Amino acid sequence: MAKAKAFIRRHPAWTTIIIMALAVVFLGAKWFDSSEAPEAARQFVKVKRGDFRVTVSEGGTLDSTHKRKLECELDGGGLIVDLVPEGAYVRGPRTHKVVAGDTLQSLAQNYAKAAAEGVSHSPETAKALTMALRRKNPEVDWNALEAGAEIVIPGQLLIKFEDGFLREKILGQEKAVTDAQRDLANAKKDLELKKLETEAADEQASLDVEFAEQDLEKYTEGEYPLLKLGLEGDIKLAEQEIKKLEKEKNLTEKLLQQKYATQLELEAKVLAIEAQKNSIAKSNKQLELLEKYDSKQQIKRLHSAFRKAKLDELRTQDKSATLRQSHAEVVTRREESLARQQEKLTLYQQQLVKTEIRAPQDGLVIFAMSSSSRYSNSPVEKGAELKKGQDLITLPDTSQMMAVVRVHESHVRHVKPGMQAVVRIDSLPDREFRGEVRKVAPTPDRLIRYYEDISVYHTDVGIVDAGNDLPADLKPGVSAKAEIIIAELENVLMVPVQCVTTHRGSTLVQVKRGARVATVPIQVGHFNDRYIEIKAGLREGDQVALSPRLDAPPTATKKPLATVQP
């Protein structure tokens, strides 16, 4: 019984049609055959041509076309320390044009005061608004505001979460960032110093190779030939000296025979010749040793030193590259560490911003209901601890409203987005608003289908009547009805809906033919709660019975015409 009453209250037009159809069936089943009934006891109406509107009227409630759902975005949730009262009208972000004398502090104080005047208990403070103004206008130089410049004023503060622990984390994290910056600066200095050291080492190693190569060339092309040339020269000089001494010896011997020289002088000459011979032998031996051993050993020694210098150069270059890479990796790690610390600081700062829930648009504050409670209680209250992702507030913009109506399944296929409608609000019975269908739900409402055993589709009908503004204090949820215009029929044949009945799958009317009444199959089109369109089977002026009686089979012999459903 409760379901039936609810259906009648929500769908009065459809209820009327059902009652009339049941009445027609009942009367058709009980009354006597039309061929035998006296015509005076029956009422007839003429088929006429005219215009009529086909509509679907359904009830529902008002809702905002633009509403925002706000949720808790704090990691780990948060504790509410202050909030606006439910039902308050709040302002979203708006633009302020700077005038002479405006400062950051004056703007924050003025707008915080305006928020407090507009809401009975506003959590907005000048300090909080000052920080919000800085965040909202990062490019503004607050120390030199220019008259005429535009500044974005943040939306009003709706909910304030406890933020002490976050501020402590931010302080600690700022120190961690400073330490990471210092470590990075030191690592960069060490890298630059190590680059200079390794460049010097590489340069010295290259010079060692160059000098070793020059030493080899110096010996093979200079020292060795000079040594050889010196020994060979000594030998030649000694040979020349021997020749000279031989002549002097011979002369001395002659003089000795003539008693002009002594034996000692002769022996001196002989000893001098022997000394020169010994010198030649020594020089020949030195030359032999030079060519056979010393030069070869020295050349090999110098070649070895040259190869060792090149190997040392490679080792030095490899060591230098390793040192530079090692210090560069330290710089990279310090940069990554700084980036992590800065990212963590940014996260904490973002979380601090999220401790304030501000209005993203103008609207009416509606607290979210608990989904787990069997009662209509809201978990949004001062002192409540909320989880991340938990709904907080729905903020509908009451300046743009729509009627959300429930269209019965028998009508839903005729309702399309873009159709015009007339919206009536129960609390404003003397006013009508022009509407337009915005959206038709693709599936029926599950809860209504489960509890009331009917299938209805939620349909959004936006109020687009700009010349008939809605009252400022109109709230979502008030009862409303929408009359959706399915078609505007012009110059069509029509009869009252009670004239038409069905029998064994055929759509029929009873037409007066002289003294008798004939049952005639017809083809119908659209209909409303009063008239139905006749597509075929009747002519203008035909008289049809208001209450058809079908106790006997139809008297018409023609094949029934197809019925076109509206």
pLDDT tens, position by position, 284-340: 998 889 888 988 899 999 999 999 999 999 999 999 999 999 999 999 999 999 999
Q: Which residue has the higher pLDDT, 556 or 92?
A: 92
Co-location of 483 and 408 in the same domain: yes
Give the whole-angstrom CA distance, residue 369 versus residue 44: 58
Co-location of 302 and 377 in the same domain: no
Beta pairing class for 366-367 and 67-71: unpaired
Co-location of 516 and 530 in the same domain: yes
DSSP string, 50-92: EEEEEEEEEEEEEEESSEEEEE--STT-EEEEEEPPTT-EE--
Co-location of 60 and 71 in the same domain: no
In a domain, 253, yes or no: yes
Strand partners, 395: 68
- pLDDT of res. 56: 87
Residue 277: C-alpha distances to residues 181, 229, 239 (Å): 85, 19, 8
Co-location of 222 and 331 in the same domain: yes
**Tally of domains within the chain:** 3
- pLDDT of res. 557: 36
| pLDDT tens, position by position, 375-428 | 456 788 899 999 999 999 999 988 888 999 999 888 888 899 999 999 999 988
**102: Cβ contacts below 8 Å, ≥ 6 apart:** 145, 147
In a domain, 442, yes or no: yes
DSSP string, 167-191: HHHHHHHHHHHHHHHHHHHHHHHHH
In a domain, 558, yes or no: no
The mean pLDDT of the chain is: 85
Co-location of 206 and 259 in the same domain: yes
468 — pLDDT class (breaks 50, 70, 90): low
- Alpha helix positions (H), 219-294: 224-257, 263-289
3-class state of residue 393 by DSSP: strand
User: Is residue 480 within 8 Å of 403, Cβ to Cβ?
Assistant: yes
Co-location of 440 and 525 in the same domain: yes
Instruction: With CA atoms as reference, report the closest residue to 346 among 181, 509, 166, 204.
Output: 166
Co-location of 193 and 216 in the same domain: yes
- pLDDT of res. 248: 87
In a domain, 564, yes or no: no
269 — pLDDT class (breaks 50, 70, 90): confident
- pLDDT of res. 206: 95
Neighbours of 372 (CB within 10 A): 6
pLDDT value at 561 more than 80: no
- pLDDT of res. 31: 42
Neighbours of 183 (CB within 10 A): 17
pLDDT value at 29 more than 70: no
In a domain, 563, yes or no: no
User: Is residue 106 within 8 Å of 98, Cβ to Cβ?
Assistant: no
- pLDDT of res. 261: 80
Co-location of 59 and 153 in the same domain: no
Co-location of 103 and 42 in the same domain: no
Residue 114's identity, in one-letter code, is A
Give the whole-angstrom CA distance, residue 85 versus residue 118: 12
Tokens of 99: 């005038």
Co-location of 173 and 315 in the same domain: yes
Neighbours of 54 (CB within 10 A): 20
Residues in the chain: 566
3-class state of residue 11 by DSSP: coil
Write down the number of H helices and E strands in the chain. Answer: 9, 24
Burial class of 240 by CB neighbour count within 10 A (0 to 12, 13 to 18, 19+): exposed
- pLDDT of res. 566: 38
Give the whole-angstrom CA distance, residue 21 versus residue 329: 88
In a domain, 566, yes or no: no
Q: Which domain holds residue 86?
A: 67-162+355-392
- pLDDT of res. 151: 93
Q: Give the burial string for 260-284 (b: 16+ CB within 10 Å, else e).
A: ebeeebbeebeebbeebeebbeebe
Co-location of 88 and 228 in the same domain: no
| pLDDT tens, position by position, 36-81 | 444 556 799 999 999 888 888 899 999 998 889 999 999 989 999 9
User: Is residue 364 within 8 Å of 70, Cβ to Cβ?
Assistant: no
Give the whole-angstrom CA distance, residue 213 versus residue 60: 102
Residue 55's identity, in one-letter code, is T
| pLDDT tens, position by position, 94-137 | 999 999 989 999 999 998 888 888 776 778 888 889 999 999 99
In a domain, 561, yes or no: no
- Alpha helix positions (H), 73-163: 104-118, 126-136
Q: Answer yes or no: pTM beyond 0.85.
A: no
pLDDT value at 23 more than 60: no
- Percent over 70 (pLDDT), the chain: 88
pLDDT value at 34 more than 50: no
Instruction: With CA atoms as reference, report the closest residue to 107 among 123, 89, 130.
Output: 130
- pLDDT of res. 205: 94
DSSP conformation class of 146: P
User: Is residue 432 within 8 Å of 424, Cβ to Cβ?
Assistant: yes
DSSP conformation class of 101: T
In a domain, 557, yes or no: no
Residue 515's identity, in one-letter code, is A
